Amino acid sequence: MTLTFIRPIAIFLLLLSLSSFCGAQSISISGIIQDAHTKEPVQYASVYFQKSGFGKTSDTSGAFSFHLNNLVNDTLVVSYIGYDLYKIPVSASNDNKPISIQLERGGLHNVVVVKTKFNKGLYLWKKIMSRKKQYNRYNLANFGYEAHNKLEIDLKNFQSNKLLKGIILKPFGFILNNVDSSSEKEPFLPAYLIENISDYAFQKNPEKRMENLKASKIPSYENENFSKLTGVMDQNVNIYNNFVNVMDRDFISPFNDNGDAYYTFTVPDTMIVNGKKLFHFVFNPKRPGQNTFNGDAWVTEKTFMIQKISMYLGKEANINFIDRVSIFQEFIPINDSVIFLSRDKFFADFRVMGKKTLTLIGRKTTSYKNIVINSDSLTALFAKQNTQEMVKAEKDIFQKTDSAWKQMRHDTLSTNEKAIYATVDKLMALPKFQRLQRTLRFLGTGYKDIGNFEIGPWFNWISADSLQGTRFRFDLGTNTGFNKNIYLHGYLAYGLRDRKFKGQAEVFWILKRDPNRIRLHASYTDDIDYGISQIGEVSQDNIFSLAIRKPNNYRKFIQVKDMRFEVFNEWGKGFSTEWFFAHRQFDPLRNLPDKSNFPVNTGSSLTNFEIALKLRWAYLEKFFETDYFRTSLGTKYPIVELTLSKGIPGVMKSAYDYTKLNLLVKDFAKISPYGTLRYRVYAGKIFGTIPYPFLENHPGNDLYYYNTNSFSLMNRFEYISDQYAGVNLEHNIGSGLFRFIPLTRKLKWRQFWTVKTVIGSLSSGNTALNNAAGNFKTLNGKPYMELGTGIDNIFRILRVDFVWRVLPTPLPSNRSSRFGIFGSFQFQF
């Protein structure tokens, strides 16, 4: 064959092969792998085709891509430690269509455990722990940063068909346009968004914290106090702490000093990223039912820095109303020896009822920038701060413009976040929504605004007892439309059986709110009091007071006419004083000694005028503040109260001269991992000879509803003293022994024990005066004691107490006074 003949053939075959190559179909399969809860990319996940076995790992952004010449129908499999196996059918139709893969946290079915003499996971944990003090930012001399905090609330498992058909919610059906059906496995509705931008600083020695709120965006609710509570002062999760707080419950950190007693550690994989070796560190609880986490982290070789960590609570975690909790943190190196947070996420699903009921998803994300450490400027700043903690807000935090927010935000708003703000603005402009909002407030709080006034609470409108019969009550008060600092309130009540009117009129005047509150209060009350109102306490009646009473127990009623004036003043650093000027006139009505049994030479029987001063120390106590009032959120330190009272005769027919001293110390302390401890220690002394309404009436309980501060098996007015000291102690263990029983572990029952004891005595003068008039008892220097235990968290809200009366001896002959079963309801996580 000649060369001239071969050349055309070769050219033809070459062209034929090129045309075949160009005609072959190139298919691109790509996607992003994310954690279904936190939306964080899952890096280094295994991605492969089930039939061919061909695969690779996702990159640091969770992305993957395959370029194939041809693709027969196959199944793409995604696998990663701690997540459920993910499978999705793929074919040529998936060409150039990115796949969003949402991995759900799951069991350990895809983990291969290899038993060796050398535990690599435990070795790595010990190395991390050797650097714990170094990498814990709270061991720095000081640090500061700017934080952008976002809290998004979404709704899941809502029934859109019912929403559109319902008469009440149908006008607001446009909100369904914001439903996100692509980001997660189940559709959800972005509902609300809160944003805060603040400067935060910390100093180790002496320990001080400071937060300056610079901007806050809370749609339709401009409450500075609420903005401070949603800042970063108490919202940070420190993985290097021994315990991580989740919804006010302490969970054992994997980096607890004794973490190896609670966790198993493994290192299933290593990766080389940018020339650096990373260990994949995985931790799981050793035993079910303990307050621990599942999760994983990526740890650098040699320096043992944690780059990223993900933690989540398992299904057996003893926490209420929470379907799942995920925590994600990412760290960046500041220098060779210091790492710091760059991003922080905390996601939680709240579900009160069953699995298919409405679920609230809370998504808190925080970003950090302008990080400074060991700064002389921070040292100078803290030198001017007199308290351990200070949270302040700039005057215009709610007046920032949209353009200002764009400049201040650390990142741009997502599509969902923009939709939330637009929808809330539209809803708040609708009169129908405003009416719905007022109705929900009335049902939830009991109050309803009518112009510059408010009525309610509705649950006080009707009640009943054996003396008054059916009782009706109507309250009327003012709101901020009348005056922002003065609150007027009064009520009128009438009993159908005793056919008598009762009532109250009062005024609160807030002279100063910040930084130290000054408040005046004046009131006049003429009503039934079911106990003896001590100075500073208020008795209430409502429809929920209709509870089960102990058998063979005679209710005791006393009428009180109470006129008082109070001055409350905060002085800083947790100190406050409160002056009381009170004139009270008691009139026993049933089952108590009549006033005629206590004749007096001057004045009126059972009438007193009292001046009292209460000194209170509650360091770093936090409050939730509304228009006029505030509710204590507690403090991590004990609260101390000292009250001094003086009875003065001759004022408006007052008849008694006496002096009272009372000291109270109380605290609620976390003693993790052993649960919580609540204690109340008190003592008092009364100088003078006076009738029983002015002595110490040790608090008894006539109901089968448990009262934390009362003696369960003691009747009211059973024991009186003029000298006393007592202790109330409650230790809530948590799961305790219940975690060893599968059924009770699944039910999430909790265990506790209680001790209540008091020692009291009565002087000879007071004994002679009061025992001659009534059947009162005194302890005569002996202790009264009750011991209790029980089951908490039954159906998430019910608590049952079993209480035994053990002192003084001999015990009462009737069994109901020696042992009792009491119930109570409480909402807790």
Q: How does DSSP classify residue 337?
A: S
Element (H, E) at 761: strand 750-761
DSSP-H helix ranges across 299-375: none
pLDDT attached to residue 558: 87
Report phi then psi at 107, rounded to 5. -80, -165
Q: Is 10 helix (H, G, I), strand (E, B) or coil?
A: helix
Identify the pLDDT of residue 170: 62
Min mean pLDDT across 54-68, 460-474, 668-682 is at 54-68
Greater pLDDT, 395 or 698: 698
**CA distance to 68, 73, 90, 315, 419, per residue, from 64 (Å):** 13, 19, 14, 31, 30
Specify the pLDDT at position 264.
92
pLDDT, mean of residues 751-773:
91
Q: Which of the listed ranges 83-97, 161-175, 286-300, 646-660 does the model predict with the highest average pLDDT? A: 646-660
- How confident is the model over 326-330, as a mean pLDDT? 88
Kind plus residue range of the DSSP H or E element containing 771: helix 764-771
Task: Check if the beta carbon of residue 475 is closer than 8 Å to that of residue 493.
Answer: no
575, 640 in Cβ contact below 8 A? no
For strands 783-794 and 750-761, give the pairing.
Answer: antiparallel
Residue pair 537/553 in contact (Cβ under 8 Å)? The answer is no
Residue 465, both tokens: 């007892």
Q: What is the pLDDT of residue 12?
A: 42
Average pLDDT, the chain: 83
Cα distance between residue 685 and residue 680, in whole Å? 17
Nearest in space to 212 (alpha carbons), one of 146, 141, 149, 151: 146
Strand partners, 478: 453
Looking from the CA of 549 toward its CB, the CA atoms found within 13 Å total 13
Whether residue 219 is preceded by a cis peptide bond, meaning omega within 30 degrees of 0, is no
Tell me phi and psi for residue 363, to 5 degrees. Answer: -125, 105
Q: Which two tokens stand for residue 365?
A: 């994300």
Q: How far is the C-alpha of 555 from the C-alpha of 425, rounded, in Å?
A: 54
Give me the phi and psi of 543, to 5 degrees please.
-65, -25
Distance CA 698, CA 36 (A): 56
Provide, rounded to the nearest whole percent, the portion of the chain with pLDDT above 70: 86
> Does 9 score more than 60 pLDDT?
no
Alpha-carbon distance of 808 to 201, in angstroms, equals: 55
Q: Choose between 180 and 267: higher pLDDT.
A: 267
Asked if pLDDT for residue 284 goes beyond 70, the answer is yes
* Max CA separation in the chain (angstroms): 149
In terms of average pLDDT, the best of 76-90, 229-243, 568-582 is 568-582
State pLDDT tens for residues 134-187.
Answer: 999 999 999 999 999 888 888 777 666 666 666 666 666 666 666 665 666 677
535 pLDDT higher than 50? no
Chain segment 97-122, per-residue pLDDT in tens: 788 888 877 754 444 445 556 788 89
The 10s digit of each residue's pLDDT in 49-63 is: 877 777 778 887 788
Which stretch of DSSP H or E encloses residue 794? Answer: strand 783-794
Task: Name the residue with higher pLDDT: 21 or 788.
Answer: 788
Q: Range with the lowest mean pLDDT among 265-279, 465-479, 514-528, 794-808?
A: 265-279
Amino acid occupying residue 818 = R
Query: Cα 631–633–639 angle (5° rounding)?
Result: 100
Q: How many other C-beta atoms are found inside a 10 Å radius of the C-beta of residue 185?
A: 9
Q: Which has more confidence, 8 or 511?
A: 511
Q: How big is the chain, counted in residues?
A: 829
What pLDDT does 176 receive?
A: 66
Q: pLDDT for 611-645, tens place per residue?
A: 999 999 999 888 888 888 888 888 889 999 999 99
Beta strand 249-252 pairing with 359-373 = unpaired
The number of beta carbons lying within 10 Å of the beta carbon of residue 55 is 16
- Phi, psi for 747 (deg, rounded to 5): -75, -15
| Closest listed residue to residue 392, CA positions, set 209, 269, 210 | 210
C-alpha span between 32 and 555 (Å, rounded): 69
Average pLDDT over residues 280-304: 87
Q: What percent of the chain has pLDDT over 90?
A: 32
pLDDT for 1 beyond 50: no
What is the C-alpha to C-alpha distance for residues 475 and 487, in angstroms, rounded to an integer?
13
* pLDDT band at residue 537 under the 50/70/90 scheme: very low
DSSP state of 26: P
Q: What is the pLDDT of residue 14?
A: 40
Report the b/e string of 641-662 with b at 16+ CB within 10 A.
bebebebebebebbbbebebeb
pLDDT at residue 418 in the model: 83
Ramachandran angles phi, psi of 428, nearest 5°? -65, -20
Task: Report residue 280 as tokens.
Answer: 């994949």
Averaged pLDDT for residues 364-371 = 89
- The answer for residues whose C-beta is within 8 angstroms of residue 710's C-beta and 6 or more apart is 699, 700, 701
Output 401-408 pairs: Cβ under 8 A, ≥24 positions apart.
404/215, 405/195, 405/215, 405/217, 408/148, 408/197, 408/214, 408/215
d(CA 445, CA 441): 6
- Count other C-beta atoms under 10 Å from residue 401's C-beta: 8
Residue 718: alpha-carbon gap to chain centroid = 38
pTM over 0.85: no
